Chain A
Amino acid sequence: MRNTFCVLLIVLAFSSSPRQAVAGQSGPSGTSPAKKSTIEDFGDRVNGYVRIRKDAEDFLSALSSSKDPAEIASHKIELAELIVSERANAHQGDIFTPKAAAKFREIIHKTLKGPRTQDARRTVDDKDPEKIVILRVNMVYPEDNPLQTAPPTLLARLPELPMDMGYRFIGRTFVLLDNKTRLIIDFIPDAIP
């Protein structure tokens, strides 16, 4: 039910956003079948990940709150390990498929480059010094590395994500991040124009 809801939200968010005009292929309803299927496919893949995480949480019994930081930390590690074992064969591009990645690049480009985009660009560029990390799918992004702020203008143009998932920039890379575990689910390299 929740997954269906998420897919519905993703489709609605994408079909009503300004990027429809970017591709220049809008049909009478403003949504071309090709675009819709790319986003539906993206939504399905995200929901596939959410199902795996939900199963892992059910197995561990979800932790809503705790006074004990050790319990929070160990729950996070166990959850990440379970998810990674279920996704052992996951690769970059599994969720951001080439078609989806092209679409995302287009939206990022429109948001960060061109007239009146300097404020969004400044949001991405505002970062504390961080260690350089070679990103890979299924790695836990180190907690001692701060995350760049996600530009609100960009978030408003991207497909809505289920709870505890986020789009983030890490350096010039665009990342789909699991907020609960800080696992890198997928990424688009060199996404900042």
Chain B
Amino acid sequence: MKTIRRFIGLALLPICLSLYGQKLTLPVHQGAVRFAAIGDMGTGEPPQYEVASRMNAIREEFPFDFVIMLGDNIYGGNSAADFKKKFELPYKLLLDSGVKFYATLGNHDAATQKTYKPFNMGGQQYYTYKKGNVQFFALDSNYMSPQEVVWLTKELQNSNSDWKVCYFHHPLYSSGKFHGPSVELRQVLEPLFMKYGVQVVFSGHDHVYERTKPQNGIHYFIEGAAGELRKGDLKTTDITAAGYDQDQSFLLVEISGDELDFQAVSRLGVTIDQGSFSRIPDRKP
């Protein structure tokens, strides 16, 4: 009897957590920039579809306009069937609703993905675009050539947006055991981020969720578990502000004026992290 009760309890736990955790804490301000971040998603396996379905459901309450893709968009090949199974079908409802996707390349991605229109890369391996008072810089961390560094420096220098957000595949800080931080890349990029006032950075690669304590004034997020998952891979360190490695997840972000609000949600709809921070207005070069 005890065993049966325990079994029922365990079976109901995800549903209870789901109902409890699905509460949206994001403010949904009028005119805000709202987006979702997903990384390492392109498996074509059921968890990817479940995350996509959760994203679609939550959009009724939190109408995000676009999604940033943090790389490893399509695992295991780039045939039409791969794109269908690993992108077009899982995100069909979002795509049909007009949600735009802005991709960056991971180590599993072919360079030809930059010509795939729904990824909005404009044929470039690194590119920039603006949404409201936010400028996004999508970088290619697989191949950080001197030309890319020169381009980024110039674009950051010329940016007059209040918020500068960078995203790319390899994390500069990570408590993931499998990959960990890309220290060499950090030495190249972080001085530029600091000099030109980048406030937020999103990456993937490690198949977990992690938010670090601000490093040199910059907020770093890893969301590399929107399809793949490396359960138990997160070895929290003194830089970890929050982390989750027990289920697939995605991240929601709203930027309104000088405030950024975020909420990370698991495949089952549990809120695994949430919070907000303000832009430091005087962080100018």
Contacts and interface: CB of A to CB of B under 8 A. Distances in A.
B159 interface: no
A119 to B, nearest CB: 4
Interface in B110-128: 110-112, 115-118, 122-123
A72 B107 contact: no
A67 B123 CA distance: 12
A119 B183 contact: yes
Given A126-B182, A144-B76, A149 B141 contact: yes
Given A76-B112, A155-B143, A155-B145, A149 B107 contact: yes
Nearest to B84: A69
Interface string B140-181: 011111110100000000000000000000100000000110
Nearest to A153: B184
A182 interface: yes
Given A72-B78, A126-B179, A64 B142 contact: no
A148 B107 CA distance: 7
Given A67-B117, A119-B183, A155 B78 contact: no
B108 interface: yes
B83 interface: yes
Interface in B169-202: 170, 179-180, 182-185, 187-188
A104 to B, nearest CB: 16
Q: Is the interface of A mostly helix, strand, loop or mixed?
A: loop
Contacts of A67: 116-118
Contacts of B117: 65-67
Contacts of A153: 184
A182 B185 contact: no
B204 to A, nearest CB: 12
Contact of B115 (A13, A66, A151, A182): A66
A28 B187 CA distance: 32
A151 B170 CA distance: 12
B79 A73 contact: yes
B123 A64 contact: yes
Interface string A156-172: 10001000101010000
A150 interface: yes
A62 B170 CA distance: 31
Nearest to B189: A152
A139 interface: no
B132 interface: no
A58 interface: no
Nearest to A64: B123
A164 B281 CA distance: 38
Contacts of B146: 13, 155-156, 160
Nearest to A123: B184
Given A66-B117, A166-B143, A147 B79 contact: no
A146 interface: yes
B27 interface: no
What are the 9 A-B residue pairs with the smallest beta carbon separation, nearest first? A70-B80, A69-B83, A119-B184, A179-B111, A152-B144, A146-B107, A69-B80, A144-B76, A67-B117
18 contacts: A72-B78, A73-B78, A73-B79, A76-B112, A119-B183, A126-B179, A126-B180, A128-B108, A143-B76, A143-B110, A148-B107, A151-B184, A152-B185, A155-B145, A155-B146, A160-B147, A179-B111, A182-B111
Interface of A: 13, 63-70, 72-73, 76, 119-120, 122-123, 126-128, 143-144, 146-153, 155-156, 160, 164, 166, 168, 179-180, 182
